[in-house]
């Protein structure tokens, strides 16, 4: 049956295994996490030389995979057959190959755990996937929406048993973006360097993730929020002189998100902390920032700023037929925003 990644991971950790797993989607984090958990749990380490097989899609086809799956484990309870890069299986889109997989899925070998790591979105309406779903599990790992990332980071930290401050969450999301694998790796890297009773705060992010304490996107947004002309220009100049580490495109995405939410703040009827947090989809901790920015930027000005951001994005992409250095574009944008 179709399941969420979290449910499947919980099952595997409790040693409940299915004979078939089809992991697909455009978010590699959960595909890789489930595959890793299966590799670590299904077959005891002492038996892996005989009963654990990792096959790469480009090197075989469905028939080749099934020849492994139909074998019986060697002096053991079960075997694991892991197909990585399954989206590259020779002929996987051909009806004949899909029929072979469907036939196996309808009557899988109970002592085999067969796993397909399909790093693309598959059509779950296909009959072979319906057959996999009937006797195994199909998991779609979807790319996470940006507005869900803060909750994901907070939930990941809770699962790992470490506290994280709202500011630290936002700094990670703003500076790393929609890359769950990198986010999880950075959090674990920080945890290794913390004391047992210590949580993750902004200082820890600055120390261990390599984010400048004064010159980062979070501080840049804060300077604009306060309409601090000097600070905003200082950070813009730093970004311009370090454009490789601070490209303009991600900065524009973050600013567009902020000022779009600021427009919603002006339009919201319920401006209580709880009401605005729900309307904006942010942690209540940040509501005061939007209320401050709303005082500094009237609704008309915010609408103009959103126009400036779109205009800057177009010029960055060369849509106006010119090629202007990123630093110059950013300095011009800062002037338009704060004046």
The DSSP code sequence of 22-35 is EEESS-HHHHHHHH
In this structure, are 134 and 155 located in the same domain? no
Kindly report the CATH number assigned to the domain that includes residue 95: 3.40.50.300
Please give the mean pLDDT across all residues of the chain: 91
Please report the sign of the dihedral spanned by the C-alpha atoms of residue 290, residue 295, residue 299, residue 303. Answer: negative
pTM over 0.75: no
Q: What pairs with residue 286 in β-bridges?
A: none
Note the pLDDT tens digit of each residue in 215-235. 888 889 999 999 999 999 999
Q: Give the number of domains in the chain.
A: 3
Q: What is the DSSP string of 187-215?
A: HHHHHHTS-TT--B-HHHHHHHS---SSS
Kindly report the CATH number assigned to the domain that includes residue 154: 1.10.8.60
In this structure, are 165 and 291 located in the same domain? no
- Give the residue from 140, 174, 197 where a domain finishes: 140
Higher pLDDT, 166 or 196: 166
pLDDT at 197 over 60: yes
- Give the residue from 208, 230, 248 where a domain finishes: 208
Note the pLDDT tens digit of each residue in 236-251. 999 988 888 788 998 9
Kindly indicate the confidence band of residue 109, based on its pLDDT and cuts at 50, 70 and 90. Answer: very high
- pLDDT at position 244: 82
In this structure, are 76 and 196 located in the same domain? no
In this structure, are 172 and 85 located in the same domain? no
8 Å CB contact between 23 and 114: no
In this structure, are 168 and 91 located in the same domain? no
Pairwise CA distance, residues 232 & 213, whole Å:
14
Distances (CA, A) of 12 to 33, 38, 42: 11, 7, 8
Helices 326-338 & 217-225 angle (0-180, nearest 10)? 30
Note the pLDDT tens digit of each residue in 17-38. 999 999 999 999 999 999 999 9
pLDDT at 2 over 70: no
Quote the domain boundaries for residue 263: 217-338
């Amino acid at each position: 049956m179709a399941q969420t990644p979290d449910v499947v991971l919980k099952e595997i950790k409790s040693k409940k295994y299915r004979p078939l797993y089809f992991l697909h989607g455009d978010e590699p984090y959960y595909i890789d996490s489930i595959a890793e958990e299966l590799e670590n749990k299904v077959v005891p380490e002492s038996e892996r030389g005989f009963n654990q097989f990792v096959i790469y899609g480009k090197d075989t086809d469905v028939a080749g995979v099934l020849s492994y799956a139909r074998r019986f484990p060697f002096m053991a309870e079960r075997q694991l057959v892991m197909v990585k890069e399954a989206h590259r299986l020779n002929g996987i889109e051909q009806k004949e190959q899909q029929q072979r997989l469907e036939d196996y899925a309808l009557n899988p070998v109970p002592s085999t755990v067969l796993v397909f790591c399909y790093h693309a979105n598959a059509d779950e309406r296909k009959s072979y996937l319906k057959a996999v779903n009937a006797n195994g599990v199909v998991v779609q790992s979807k790319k996470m929406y940006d507005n869900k990332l803060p909750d994901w980071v907070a939930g990941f930290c809770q699962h790992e048993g470490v506290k994280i401050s709202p500011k630290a969450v936002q700094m990670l999301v703003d500076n790393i973006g929609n890359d769950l694998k990198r986010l999880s790796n950075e959090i674990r890297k920080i945890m290794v360097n913390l004391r047992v009773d210590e949580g993750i705060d902004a200082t820890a992010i600055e120390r261990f993730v390599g984010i400048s304490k004064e010159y980062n996107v979070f501080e840049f947004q804060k300077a604009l929020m306060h309409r601090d002309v000097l600070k905003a220009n200082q950070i813009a100049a730093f970004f311009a002189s370090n454009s490789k580490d601070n490209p303009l495109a991600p900065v524009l995405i973050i600013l567009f998100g902020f000022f779009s939410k600021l427009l919603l703040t002006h339009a919201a009827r319920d401006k209580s902390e709880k009401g605005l947090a729900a309307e904006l989809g942010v942690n209540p901790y940040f509501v005061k920032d939007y209320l401050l920015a709303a005082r500094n930027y009237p609704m008309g000005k915010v609408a103009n700023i959103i126009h400036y951001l779109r205009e800057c994005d177009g010029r960055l992409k060369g849509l106006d037929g010119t090629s202007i250095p990123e630093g110059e574009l950013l300095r011009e944008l800062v002037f338009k925003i704060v004046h």
